[in-house]
């Protein structure tokens, strides 16, 4: 199964946090392969407190022989291993944020894991790097490609 994962960091050594997150993912998930990695973008915080430091954001695509909930559990554990508290305010600064964006054509409305990610089509900081690696991708529930979604953002 192919998975899209967004990475973001705005605390500490942001680039190192992202590098370590990918490294932990690749060692933690059996049989995982990195298919594609987008460039890293520096972006202004969205819906965060005033004075919040800029983020570094990117998207990777991996393939693994696991289910989306299993991969999501790994992502949350990696966030915590790199210093992100389990209980936190929404949109608070973070050493590393790992969001599962999609899992092939899986649609899930489970409150613990909604797929595809419910706000990704509205977020330039997700669509821009995703369009670098999968511009033609049409996400479940969408009628147009990632590149077209990006083009229609303000």
Per-residue pLDDT of 50-107, as tens digits, reads 778 899 999 999 999 999 999 999 999 999 999 876 665 665 678 999 999 999 999 9
What DSSP element (H or E) covers 108?
A: strand 108-110
47, pLDDT greater than 90:
no
10 Å CB burial of residue 71 (0-12, 13-18, 19+) is buried
In the prediction, which pLDDT does 11 show? 92
Compute the residue count for the chain: 154
For the entire predicted model, the pTM comes to 0.93
Please give the average per-residue pLDDT across 122-131, as a whole number.
96
CA–CA distance, 95 with 136 (Å, rounded to integer)? 31
Interhelix angle 14-28/68-81, rounded to 10 degrees, is 140
Choose which CATH entry (3.40.50.300, 3.40.50.1820, 3.30.70.560, 1.10.3720.10) describes domain 2-117: 3.30.70.560
Say which residues have a Cβ less than 8 Å from residue 58's Cβ, sequence separation at least 6.
6, 7, 18, 37, 38, 39, 40, 41, 129
CA–CA distance, 46 with 65 (Å, rounded to integer)? 33
CB half-sphere exposure, 6, CA atoms < 13 A:
25
Instruction: Specify which residues 43 forms β-bridges with.
Output: 55
- Tell me how far CA of residue 114 lies from CA of 41, 108, 109, 120, 126, in angstroms: 25, 5, 5, 11, 16
* Residue written as token pair 């409305």: 109
């Amino acid at each position: 199964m192919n998975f899209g994962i967004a990475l973001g960091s705005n605390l500490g050594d942001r680039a190192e946090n992202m590098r370590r997150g990918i490294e932990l993912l690749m060692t933690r998930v059996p049989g995982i392969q990195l298919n594609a990695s987008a460039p890293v973008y520096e972006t202004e915080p969205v819906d965060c407190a005033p004075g919040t430091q800029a983020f570094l954001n990117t998207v990777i695509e991996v393939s693994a022989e696991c289910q989306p909930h299993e991969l999501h559990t790994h992502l949350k554990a990696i966030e915590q291993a790199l210093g992100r508290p389990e209980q936190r305010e929404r949109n608070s600064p973070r050493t590393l944020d790992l969001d599962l964006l999609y899992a092939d054509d899986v649609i899930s409305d489970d409150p613990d894991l909604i797929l595809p990610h419910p706000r990704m089509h509205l977020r330039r900081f997700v669509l821009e790097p995703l369009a670098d690696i999968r511009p033609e991708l049409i996400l479940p529930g969408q009628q147009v490609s990632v590149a077209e979604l990006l083009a229609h953002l303000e």
